[in-house]
Amino acid sequence: MSEHYDIIVVGAGPSGSTAARFAVEGGTKVLLIERKRDIGIPVRCAEGVSEKPLREFIEPQSSFIRNYISRVRLFAPNDIPVVLTPLNSGYILDRRVFDRKLAEIAAEKGAEIITSCTAIEIEKQSDGTVDLLMFHRGREIKANCKIIIGADGVESRVGRWFGLETVTTIHNTEGALEYVITHPNINRKFCDFYFGAEIAPGGYLWVFPGEENTASVGLGCAGDKLVRNSLRNLLNKFIDRKYPGAKIISEVAGGIPVQATLKEIIADNLMLVGDAARQVNPMTGAGIINGMIGGKIAGETASNAINNGSWKREDFVGYQEKWHKRIGTDHQKFFKMKEVINRFSDNSLNKIADTINSLPEDERTLRKVFMTALFKHPTLLGELRHLF
């Protein structure tokens, strides 16, 4: 390990590894640190991604793909399924292999990687650089850099160290719990989503089929909706009903920020990416590809700043602008849509499902589902008319 780097990336998830990769491709000296011993373990979220945006970063490989998916079903609270028009193809990933592969690409490009390394503090220097204090295998170490890219997840501390407001309300933080189960009745053709106050209050439950007879089954619920429920009780109840006798292979729990991107994701010497910047789709909770897009833009912006000899906040404005132009502005719309959808009662959702099922299957798009929901609740049209 060196004492000086141009850029240090904190966190080796998809967004951090992607940021390190594109930063080092710009000719800079990059250190990527990960607090866990093994990158990608434990898995922190579900594993679904669309094929087209994935190919922007890496060609799909059988080593990290658990299943190929192009069909989606939405289940109303009364358990009536809505089979949507076939979507663009996508994949269910093996995150352990996928995350490690992204880090390997960054290393092959020239990034240095240190695992079992926790960032604990920063010290700003008079020359405009930053010392990052870390704890690595029982001892404190320190490295100097010009730019830090914070990719340290929803619980990020890096942004706070630089004075950014990163607090997320309980309402906009979904508690999430996921099991990987085995059961003979898992349908590998569909990704399934279940809705309803008794199933996943303030969120939804998902079933992502993997290899034969296996699936990732999880749910995310708004934090303020869990006063009388627990994630584990809700998930166990669902599995007992739908997959009786299923065997649980593994489980993972965490938080998902379902809000618009933070107002500020840059500061002198700093850019935030991924969950740390709240670059998750607020309506679906999806964040893998979004985080990689943010990581790419931040990595390129950082290397340009180094090559230009300045790393002030104003040197990173382009990152923030490019992010909002690419995805961030849509996330503001998705956040408003999420808030509206969460107002629907179970009875309303059941009626919406009946209406959608009366349409030919090739007309059952997500847009049609949402517009049908709004027309059944015309008082909400005024709030969202500017989104369409």
- Read out DSSP for 109-136? HT-EEE-SEEEEEEEE-TTS-EEEEEEE
Confidence (pLDDT) at 388: 45
At residue 376, the pLDDT reads 63
CATH number (domain holding residue 115)? 3.50.50.60
- Looking at the fold, whether 224 and 188 belong to one and the same domain comes out as yes
What pLDDT is attached to residue 44? 66
| CA atoms of 32 and 20, how far apart (whole Å) | 7
Neighbouring C-beta atoms of residue 187, cutoff 10 Å: 12
**Same-domain pairing of 182 and 205:** yes
pLDDT for 387 equals 47
Range 82-87 average pLDDT: 81
In the listed set 257, 277, 294, which residue is the last one of a domain according to the structure? 257
Same domain, 266 and 306: yes
Alpha-carbon distance 16 to 4, whole Å? 19
**SS3 of 379, please?**
helix
Mean pLDDT of the chain: 89
**pLDDT at residue 213 is higher than 80:** yes
- Taking alpha carbons only, the member of 219, 239, 283, 282 closest to residue 45 is 219
Place of tokens 């429920």: 229
> Are the C-beta atoms of 238 and 230 separated by less than 8 Å?
no
Task: Please tell me whether residues 39 and 187 are part of one structural domain.
Answer: no
17 closest CA partner among 76, 127, 98: 98
Instruction: Note whether residue 1 is domain-resident.
Output: no
Count of domains forming the chain: 3
Residue with the bigger pLDDT between 361 and 83: it is 83
CATH of the domain at 67: 3.30.9.10
- Count of helices and strands (H, E) across the chain: 11, 19
Residue 348 lies in a domain: yes
> What's the pTM?
0.89
Gap between the Cα atoms of 143 and 114, Å rounded? 12
The secondary structure of 40-108, three-state, reads CCCCCCCCEEEHHHHCCCCCCCHHHEEEEECEEEEECCCCCEEECCCCCCEEEECHHHHHHHHHHHHHH
* Burial class, 276, CB count within 10 angstroms (exposed 0-12 / middle 13-18 / buried 19+): buried
CA angle 152, 154, 160 (to 5 degrees): 70
d(CA 135, CA 2): 15
Asked if residue 134 and residue 58 are part of one domain, the reply reads no
Between strands 48-50 and 30-33, the pairing is unpaired
Q: Average pLDDT in the 123-132 region?
A: 97
Residues 77, 197 contacting (CB under 8 angstroms): yes
Are residue 188 and residue 253 in the same domain, yes or no?
Answer: yes
Chain position carrying tokens 């090739």:
362
Same domain for 126 and 107? Answer: yes
- The winner for highest mean pLDDT among 140-154, 323-337, 370-384 is 140-154
Report the pLDDT value the prediction gives residue 112, as an integer from 0 to 100.
98
Q: Is 372 exposed, middle or buried (0-12, 13-18, 19+ CB in 10 A)?
A: middle
Residue from 202, 194, 255 nearest 227 by CA: 202
Range of the domain at 268: 7-45+95-167+261-337
Q: In this predicted model, what pLDDT tens digit does every residue of 12-35 receive, in sequence order?
A: 999 999 999 999 999 999 999 999
Strand 90-93, strand 65-69: pairing: antiparallel
Whether residue 384 is predicted with pLDDT greater than 60 in this model: the reply is no
> Going by C-beta distance under 8 Å and a sequence separation of 6 or more, which residues neighbour residue 56?
292, 293
| Residue 228: count of CB within 10 angstroms of its CB | 6
Q: Is residue 2 part of a domain?
A: no
| pLDDT at site 255 | 82
Q: Are residues 110 and 31 in the same domain?
A: yes
Range from 194-198, 308-312, 372-376 that averages highest in pLDDT:
308-312
Q: Is 122 part of a structural domain of the chain?
A: yes
What are the tens digits of pLDDT across the range 279-330?
988 777 778 999 999 999 999 999 999 999 999 999 999 999 999 999 877 8
Q: Using the 8-state DSSP alphabet, how is residue 4 labeled? A: B
